[in-house]
């Protein structure tokens, strides 16, 4: 049987690679120097694109993919893919929601304890031999504190569930109030920040949320407040955050994502009240396996029934 043609934008986990290699005719775009030439000469029959939240898909490439009908992306966020443009062209987009909720929420807790209880700083303190000559500063308690969540979607709710285990009081801000959740809605993000001891950023990325966390919000969170970002770097005005951290208007930041990944501003590395992770929210063996399987299932479902399983457009 003739195999369908697929263009793969960037490297993927081995489960996806092996599946693609045995079931499809694959063009590995990132291995080619002249991308446009490769699209023009080798991808005219490609019905599917396989990509990820990280590698995305450039709109200008779509004109060189006349047979394209489906995009299967590794990751729940799709801010690096223009879903509207795909919809306009009648191309389906599938992503990998839900299978990573718990993992990302666990990462948020790791950041909360890592920064809030000073775990990362304390580790440095011991390794650098400071324990024999100095006292580690007292940190603030986590239990019973006020936690704000920007973006109470499925991952936001998994974060809230974990925070109830710490007896935290929880409020959230979304574009609109969510029905059927036991947490209080705060219509103003600034009010939420003012109220919160910890503010978790868990909304979508892209233009609608660009720099939602600005100087005013960080100042409202305050000198004792902790900002935790596990969504997208673009939601936070990074320059304003650095200034707020430097002059003590913001207590601390725990970040898994950055505005210009994988580049992290030098100024952040110099701050003791900051914990940094290289975008590992969903990075466990089990979760990446489930995400890979969903990429495959989305493609399979499309070729079998004409619709991806987890459909964005």
- Determine whether 5 is an active site residue: no
Give the active site residue among 173, 232, 249, 294.
Answer: 232
Locate 170 and state its tokens: 């929880």
Alpha carbon 289 to its chain centroid, in Å, reads 17
By CB under 6 A, the residues from 30 to 69 that bind ligand 8YV are 52-54
- Determine whether 25 is an active site residue: no
> Which spans in the chain are helix H?
14-23, 35-42, 59-62, 83-88, 101-116, 119-127, 154-164, 189-195, 215-221, 238-246, 266-269, 285-305
Contact flag: residue 156 with ligand 8YV (CB under 6 A): no
Q: Tell me how far, at minimum, the Cβ of 73 lies from ligand 8YV, in Å.
A: 8
Give the active site residue among 85, 261, 290, 311.
Answer: 261
Give the active site residue among 5, 173, 249, 279.
Answer: 279
- Give 40's DSSP letter: H
Pick the stretch among 70-78, 120-128, 142-150, 190-198 that binds ligand 8YV (CB under 6 A).
70-78
For the chain, give the number of residues.
313
Q: Using the rule CB under 6 A, which residue among 174, 282, 292, 298 binds ligand 8YV?
A: 282
Q: What are phi and psi of 173, to 5 degrees?
A: -130, 130
- Determine whether 32 is an active site residue: no
By CB under 6 A, the residues from 93 to 112 that bind ligand 8YV are 100
Q: Tell me how far, at minimum, the Cβ of 257 lies from ligand 8YV, in Å.
A: 7
Give the number of other Cβ atoms within 10 Å of residue 205's Cβ.
18
Q: Tell me how far, at minimum, the Cβ of 55 lies from ligand 8YV, in Å.
A: 7
**Best CA proximity match to 93, nearest among 136, 123, 61, 57:** 57
Q: Tell me how far, at minimum, the Cβ of 77 lies from ligand 8YV, in Å.
A: 3
Contact flag: residue 290 with ligand 8YV (CB under 6 A): no
- First-to-last C-alpha distance (Å) of the chain: 29
Contact flag: residue 76 with ligand 8YV (CB under 6 A): yes
Alpha carbon 36 to its chain centroid, in Å, reads 29
Applying CB under 6 A, which residues contact ligand 8YV?
A: 52-54, 74-77, 100, 279, 281-282
Which residues have a catalytic role annotated? 232, 261, 279
């Amino acid at each position: 049987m003739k195999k369908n043609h697929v263009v793969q934008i960037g490297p993927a986990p081995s489960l996806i690679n092996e599946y693609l290699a045995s079931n499809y005719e694959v063009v590995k775009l990132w291995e080619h120097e002249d991308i446009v030439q490769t699209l023009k000469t080798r991808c005219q029959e490609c019905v599917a694109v396989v990509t990820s939240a990280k590698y995305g898909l450039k709109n200008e490439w779509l004109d060189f993919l006349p047979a394209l009908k489906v995009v299967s992306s590794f990751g729940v966020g799709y801010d690096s893919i223009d879903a509207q443009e795909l919809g306009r062209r009648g191309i389906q987009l599938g992503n990998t929601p839900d299978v990573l909720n718990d993992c990302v929420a666990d990462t948020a807790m790791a950041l909360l304890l890592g920064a809030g209880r000073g775990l990362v700083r304390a580790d440095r303190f011991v390794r650098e031999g400071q324990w024999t000559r100095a006292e580690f500063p007292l940190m603030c308690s986590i239990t019973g504190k006020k936690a704000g969540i920007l973006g109470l979607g499925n991952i936001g709710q998994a974060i809230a569930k974990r925070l109830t285990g710490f007896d935290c009081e929880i409020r959230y801000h979304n574009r609109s109030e969510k029905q059927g959740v036991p947490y209080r809605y705060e219509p103003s993000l600034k009010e939420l920040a003012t109220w919160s001891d910890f503010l978790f950023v868990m909304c979508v990325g892209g233009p609608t949320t660009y720099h939602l966390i600005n100087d005013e919000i960080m100042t409202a969170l305050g000198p004792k407040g902790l900002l935790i970002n596990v969504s997208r770097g673009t939601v936070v005005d990074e320059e304003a955050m650095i200034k707020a951290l430097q002059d003590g208007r913001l207590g601390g930041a725990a970040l898994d994502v950055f505005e210009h990944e994988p580049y992290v501003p030098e100024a952040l590395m110099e701050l003791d009240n900051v914990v940094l992770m290289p975008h590992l929210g969903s990075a466990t063996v089990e979760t990446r396996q489930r995400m890979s399987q969903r990429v495959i299932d989305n493609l399979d479902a499309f070729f079998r029934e004409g619709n991806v399983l987890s459909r964005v457009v």
